[in-house]
Structure 1
Amino acid sequence: MSPESTSFAGRSALITGVTGQDGSYLAELLLDKGYTVHGLVRRSSSFNTERIDHIYQGPQEPGRTLVLHHADLADGVALVNLLREIRPDEVYNLGAQSHVRVSFDAPLYTGDVTGLGSLRLLEAIRASGVATRIYQASSSEMFGAAPPPQNERTPFHPRSPYGCAKVFSYWSTVNYREAYGLFACNGILFNHESPRRGETFVTRKITRAVARIRAGLQDRLYLGNLDAVRDWGYAPEYVEAMWRMLQQDDPDDYVVATGQAVSVREFLDAAFEAGGLDQSRYVRYDPKYERPSEVDALIGDASKAREQLGWRPTVGWRELAALMVRADIEALDAELAGARVRVDR
């Protein structure tokens, strides 16, 4: 029986990082399939739930239950208690300090949250005795300087504290699978974007700037290395691959990518073209956005995911750039219209 034809009503899942880009799309996917979704949220003095407010606030539809829990990947005891309380069928570990450039400025924090946080979760699953399947969000940044195309057999050569922390998480996941028999999978996802991408990531920084320049709110866009080559896909499609990994008979590790090589400059050109602007008039170089050690090219070979998971990307990078620009223009237009209404009152 294929995963698409199976009923998942009554299943439950725990998502760390539920308020992030991937966490919000994954929550939607699982809710649509009938899961009860539990999301892990760090306690903070400010709210950071805007990506899931549309499914969390107000009355929830029958059969679509999202429950948020305050806990932290730094607190292993709390993780054990939470797992024993909700006994999820599936766990998706998406929580991390996920910005590569920031990891150079905060390497110890990145190592603790992104690296040791995953180990605490694995150990909590083992210690709790809860029978569950776990997905670990691994990253193409683990490959770093390894020549492309990169697949599941490519040796890791990380070039940032973030990449190093992800390599630690990857091998910890493999170790717990082999040592304790956990159903644990690594999804080695290459860059994946959407209108929900954080505003400091280069793709969203570009598309948001297009909207602001069009509206007369921004004069310049400052960027670092425009020659870096990446493999950009659409985030909602990538969370489908995460789910498919945990529906297999046996746990394994998979690269998820489009296989298309695109430079930052090409994405920049496409985004400004979608907004009807000439990027050469507005974009300037700023060395502060350069990494201490650069990753020149990340291009994934997702043959294994295609063959074993039946997963294929459908949104190309040009379409992705255009849809992100449209979303940012529409969001800014709505924000400005709301501000005008408030002023008129």
Structure 2
Amino acid sequence: MKTLNETAFHLPVLLRQVAEFLLTDVDGTYIDFTVGGGGHSKLICEKLGKSGRLIGCDRDAEALVQARSVLSDRVRLVQSRFSDIRGALKEIAAGTVTGILMDLGVSSHHLDDPSRGFSHRTAGALDLRMDQSTGEKAAELLARLSLPDLTDLITMYGEDPQARRIARAIVKEREQSPLATTEALAKVITKSVPATANKSLARVFQALRIAVNDELGELEKGLEAGWDLLKPQGRLAVISYHSLEDRIVKNFMREKAAPTSAAFEPFPTEHIATGRIISRKPITPDEEEIERNPRARSAKLRVIEKLG
């Protein structure tokens, strides 16, 4: 695999803020659930004391190769998706973790590499899998979904008001020939909704990526796994980039920080908060960072501390 420099692979977002809010003990144990190109992990590692530990995880084998090229040997790397991470780290980190980072953004490498199929701006195979060794490709998903299911997918994960029109165009086109490339899909979308093509292209590709990788289901499992791995006073920091994932993160943290008894319970019991939200409002990039890295514009960092 080709190794890139860390900036080319992915420019880390909110780097200084992550270090500020996550690093509470330089001799603690930290896990980067989304190590990617190693940008955040590199800074965390540089700030650790002699007894500090850092574990980097990613579901993408290419990301781990890149991370290995920029991180010191003291960093342990593990290939795992969120739903498997509890088992993968149980023996080495359960209940002892000081801080966990989850950066939910798609890396610049994924967007810029045509062979991965993440962007409508580059011609390549319609893949969109984070882990190319397993799972269904986006082209295969498009080929089998019914019109109602495809409409629902674009509506729920892409939040596009013209989902049905786009879905009809896709179904009609695939009857003539398979939609196997990003270029072919982009052409169908642009033709079906020319007035809103740019927005719809981004929305449909987002919807397919979320579905192919089960991103929202994986996120929910990852949040719970991370919470279980944290020790008391440990912190969970999550960077989200769109409303669907941010809503999940926000609700998770609110529930941990101030859970309430359900109104339908016949005998409501008092639920004790197990977390403390560190920043009531999400932390966002300043104008200088956005100018340097436009892809950071929609980033939101939320941090919660586990009580004990």
Same fold (TM over 0.5): no
TM-score by length of structure 1 reads 0.29
